[in-house]
């Protein structure tokens, strides 16, 4: 490249030129919308999530209404989170065939064509708020994966297309795959939260679904934010155990991890723009320090890094206003 023969600014001359040369595009089908469904809410009710302005906990019927509205404007898939009426030591409402998520899956599959993905974990369902079975303040790995398998199976039985274990226990993908296969659910996919970091950006979510641990933290199972080699090993392990789609979470602070995983494994890769990323941008925009363009820039950057799918709370906004990046 020799100046002045090469003038890079030619490539950015005007909008039309920039558009045809744009390397990355965000499409409606790249987006997955997280839906929070609260068992105790009745018809017509929804609760605003104060730590995530513009997001709600829905009753089952309201969640269905919202899902249908979004499907009409281009939504392809949802990720379901349940807020059960009852919590106990072993999170038994998580695998109840009459549980809130199991009901929601059934209704969504009956009444929409959405791809239904379910979060598989115990923390919203346990009285202590931990992602597993506890003994002497320790999370028991092997005990927990049996429960996770039961939860995943109950979601598959209810009709889920994809189960998404978010617990970070060792061996859970293999355990879930075996359980699904033994019960004939060969076609139920697994999207594992493979490189899930112990991140402070989950704070608004834990408030939204009341899942903050009552003691201790999640650092013995979620990853150290300082590590990437370990993330590669986690992803490799999940692929060997049978993951169909791997996920990196959070997204924006971990673009290097997304890129490395996609480049190395060439497997469908999802990135989770988590609650804190959403609330941070919202707060910036609402205070006037940022503009809404920062939303588009973050999402196109996550896509550029290598994500095929992005779980984002901005999904409704993007579907309403268009996913096109204004270059």
Which residues of the shown chain bind Zn ion in the complex (CB under 5 A)? 121, 123, 131
Q: Which stretch binds ligand PBG (CB under 6 A): 12-20, 173-181, 203-211, 316-324?
A: 203-211
What would the two tokens of residue 164 be?
Answer: 């998404």
Provide the minimum distance between the beta carbon of 119 and Zn ion in the complex, in angstroms, as a whole number: 8
| Residue 32: strand pairing partners | 77, 311
Q: Is 19 a catalytic residue?
A: no
Provide the minimum distance between the beta carbon of 300 and ligand PBG in the complex, in angstroms, as a whole number: 20
297 φ, ψ to 5°?
-65, -40
- C-beta of residue 175 within 8 angstroms of C-beta of residue 143: no
Q: Where are the alpha helices (DSSP H) in 129-251?
A: 141-158, 172-182, 203-209, 229-241
155-190 residues labelled b (16+ CB within 10 A) or e (exposed): bbbbbbbbbbbbbbbeebbbbbbebbeeeebeebbb
Q: β-strands 46-48, 31-38: how paired?
A: unpaired
193 φ, ψ to 5°?
-75, 90
DSSP summary character for residue 302: H
163 φ, ψ to 5°?
-105, 140
Specify the residue, 26 or 123, whose C-beta has the smaller distance to ligand PBG. 123
Contact pick of 128, 155, 218, 303 for ligand PBG (by CB under 6 A): 218
Contact pick of 63, 104, 116, 123 for ligand PBG (by CB under 6 A): 123
In sign, the C-alpha dihedral spanning 34, 38, 41, 42 is positive
113 contacts: CB under 8 Å, gap ≥ 6: 71
Specify the residue, 61 or 141, whose C-beta has the smaller distance to ligand PBG. 141
Instruction: Determine if 202 is a binding residue for ligand PBG (CB under 6 A).
Output: yes
What would the two tokens of residue 110 be?
Answer: 């009956």
Specify the residue, 180 or 208, whose C-beta has the smaller distance to ligand PBG. 208
Instruction: Determine if 78 is a binding residue for ligand PBG (CB under 6 A).
Output: no
- Among ligand PBG, Zn ion, none, what does residue 119 contact (CB within 5–8 Å per kind)? ligand PBG
Q: Is 249 a catalytic residue?
A: yes
Contact pick of 105, 131, 134, 190 for ligand PBG (by CB under 6 A): 131
> Which residue from 111, 238, 109 is spatially nearest to 173, judged by alpha carbons?
238
Active-site position among 87, 150, 196, 262: 196
Count of positions on this chain that bind ligand PBG (CB under 6 A): 13
Site string for ligand PBG, 149-188 (x = CB under 6 A): -----------------xx---------------------
Specify the residue, 94 or 115, whose C-beta has the smaller distance to ligand PBG. 94
Contact pick of 41, 67, 75, 121 for ligand PBG (by CB under 6 A): 121
Provide the minimum distance between the beta carbon of 202 and ligand PBG in the complex, in angstroms, as a whole number: 4
Site string for ligand PBG, 80-119 (x = CB under 6 A): ---------------------------------------x
- C-beta of residue 164 within 8 angstroms of C-beta of residue 118: yes
Active-site position among 46, 87, 150, 249: 249
DSSP summary character for residue 43: T
Kindly tell me the burial class for residue 3, based on how many C-beta atoms sit within 10 Å of its own C-beta (0-12, 13-18, 19 or more): exposed
Specify the residue, 7 or 210, whose C-beta has the smaller distance to ligand PBG. 210
Site residues, ligand PBG (CB under 6 A)? 119, 121, 123, 131, 166-167, 202, 205-206, 211, 218, 274-275
Q: Catalytic amino acids?
A: 196, 249
């Amino acid at each position: 490249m020799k100046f002045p023969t090469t003038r890079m600014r030619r490539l950015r001359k005007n909008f039309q030129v920039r558009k045809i040369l744009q390397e990355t595009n965000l499409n409606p089908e790249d987006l997955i919308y997280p839906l929070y469904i609260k068992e105790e809410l009745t018809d017509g009710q929804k609760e605003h999530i104060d730590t995530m302005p513009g997001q709600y906990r829905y009753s089952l019927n309201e969640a269905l209404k919202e899902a249908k509205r979004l499907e009409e404007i281009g939504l392809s898939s949802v990720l379901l989170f349940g807020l059960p009426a009852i919590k106990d030591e072993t999170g038994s409402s998580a695998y109840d065939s009459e549980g809130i998520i199991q009901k929601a899956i059934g209704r969504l599959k009956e009444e929409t064509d959405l791809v239904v993905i379910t979060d598989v974990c115990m923390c919203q369902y346990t009285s202590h708020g931990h992602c597993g079975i506890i003994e002497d303040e320790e999370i028991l790995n092997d005990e927990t994966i049996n429960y996770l398998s039961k939860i995943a199976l109950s979601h598959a039985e209810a009709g889920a297309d994809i189960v998404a274990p978010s617990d970070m226990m060792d061996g859970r993908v293999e355990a879930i795959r075996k359980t699904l296969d033994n019960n004939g659910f060969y076609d139920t996919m697994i999207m594992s939260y493979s490189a899930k970091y112990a991140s402070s950006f989950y704070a608004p979510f834990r408030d939204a679904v009341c899942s903050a641990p009552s003691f201790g933290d999640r650092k013995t199972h979620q990853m150290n934010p300082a590590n990437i080699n370990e993330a590669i090993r986690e992803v490799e392990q999940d692929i060997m155990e049978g993951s169909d789609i791997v996920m990196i979470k959070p997204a924006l602070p971990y673009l290097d991890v997304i890129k490395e995983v996609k480049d190395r494994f060439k497997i469908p890769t999802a990135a989770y723009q988590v609650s804190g990323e959403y609330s941070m941008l919202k707060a910036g925009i609402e205070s006037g320090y940022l503009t809404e363009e920062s939303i588009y820039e973050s999402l196109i950057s996550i896509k550029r890094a290598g994500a095929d799918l992005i779980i984002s709370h901005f999904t409704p906004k993007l579907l309403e206003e268009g996913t096109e990046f204004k270059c």
